[in-house]
């Protein structure tokens, strides 16, 4: 068996749990996309081209408000900027023979889960391992989107409304566990909620479009947190 097939198959095996989780979350996205007026093809195409739940749900919010292309582009840039850092970090873990023809496709498929699984692998990383992760996780995300978009037109309204709540459950599951025992993170989350409320209710701030609200709040909160509470370097890196 070639050196390409072994890491690729290992990636498929490790990517199955990711695909199952993606199916559940993207099913909700498909329902919301259907309610926003997208066809199943459009929803699946978005899932295949974007590969980020935060970016996709943010895009649906902007589509619903008829946001401009500039707002859409800037919002996606801000929301997905972390993937640039993940890709740069991941590229340092690749084997010496993994050149640019491999780095670009792998960077396209970087998500929080794929990055987390990849960096936890011991030793150098073969890009075909990431191809294996992508070959099951991305179809899982797209299949969930398709099933959600199709079900959105078949299931009763009460069930659709109930399933739509899963989106908020996903966000709660993302922010609550890390916030336990971390006063700084809890404070940042609370500040984000408060500022979002102010931007929605105050007369002048409420007139700002949805896209620029996301951009302003993300840059403002993340920037202030990084400035006031910088992450301390690990003792292992100290001389």
138, pLDDT greater than 80:
yes
> How sure is the predictor about 20, in pLDDT bands with cuts at 50, 70 and 90?
confident
41, pLDDT greater than 90:
yes
Question: Please, what is the Cα angle at 225 between 219 and 229, to 5 degrees?
Answer: 155
CA–CA dist 175, 79 (Å, integer): 16
- For residue 238, the tally of other CB atoms under 10 A from its CB is 7
161, pLDDT greater than 50:
yes
CB 76, CB 59: distance < 8 Å: yes
Q: Which two tokens stand for residue 135?
A: 């070959």
Provide the pLDDT for residue 238.
Answer: 43
Q: What is the largest CA-CA distance in the chain?
A: 66
Query: Torsion over CA of 188, 209, 52 and 224, rounded to 10 degrees?
Result: -30
User: What digits encode the pLDDT tens for the residues 87-102?
Assistant: 887 888 887 777 778 8
Percent of the chain with pLDDT over 70: 85
CA distances for 153 relative to 64, 97, 157, angstroms: 18, 48, 9
CA–CA dist 56, 204 (Å, integer): 27
Instruction: Name the residue ranges covered by the structural domains of the chain.
Output: 5-167, 181-231
Q: 């589509």: which residue's tokens? A: 63
CA distances for 78 relative to 13, 83, 195, 216, 217, angstroms: 32, 10, 18, 10, 10
Four-residue CA torsion sign, 54, 82, 229, 224:
negative
CA–CA dist 204, 137 (Å, integer): 43
Question: Considering the chain, what is the average pLDDT of its residues?
Answer: 81
CA 154 to chain centre: 28
> How sure is the predictor about 163, in pLDDT bands with cuts at 50, 70 and 90?
low
Which has the closest alpha carbon to 120: 18, 235, 229, 19? 18
Which has the closest alpha carbon to 167: 17, 50, 61? 61
pTM, two decimals, is 0.70
CA–CA dist 104, 156 (Å, integer): 43
Which has the closest alpha carbon to 60: 70, 77, 47? 47
């Amino acid at each position: 068996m070639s050196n390409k097939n072994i890491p690729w198959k290992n990636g498929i095996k490790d990517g199955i749990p990711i695909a199952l989780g993606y199916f559940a979350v993207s099913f909700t996205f498909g329902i919301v996309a259907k309610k926003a007026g997208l066809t199943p093809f459009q929803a699946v195409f978005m899932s295949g081209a974007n590969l980020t739940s935060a970016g996709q749900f943010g895009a649906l919010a902007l589509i619903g408000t008829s946001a401009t292309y500039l707002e859409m582009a800037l919002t996606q840039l801000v929301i997905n900027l972390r993937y640039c850092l993940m890709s740069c970090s991941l590229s340092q873990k690749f084997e010496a023979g993994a050149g640019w023809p491999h780095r670009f496709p792998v960077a396209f498929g970087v998500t929080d889960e794929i990055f987390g699984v990849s960096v936890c692998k011991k030793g150098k990383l073969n890009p075909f391992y990431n191809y294996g992760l992508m070959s099951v996780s991305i179809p899982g995300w797209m299949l969930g989107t398709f099933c959600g978009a199709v079900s959105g037109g078949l299931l009763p309204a009460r069930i659709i409304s109930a399933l739509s709540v899963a989106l908020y459950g996903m966000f709660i599951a993302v922010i609550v566990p890390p916030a336990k025992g971390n006063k700084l993170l809890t404070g940042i989350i609370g500040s984000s909620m408060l500022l979002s409320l102010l931007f929605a209710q105050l007369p002048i701030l409420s007139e700002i479009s949805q896209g620029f609200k996301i951009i302003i709040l993300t840059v403002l909160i993340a920037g202030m947190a990084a400035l006031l509470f910088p992450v301390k370097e690990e003792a292992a890196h100290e001389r």
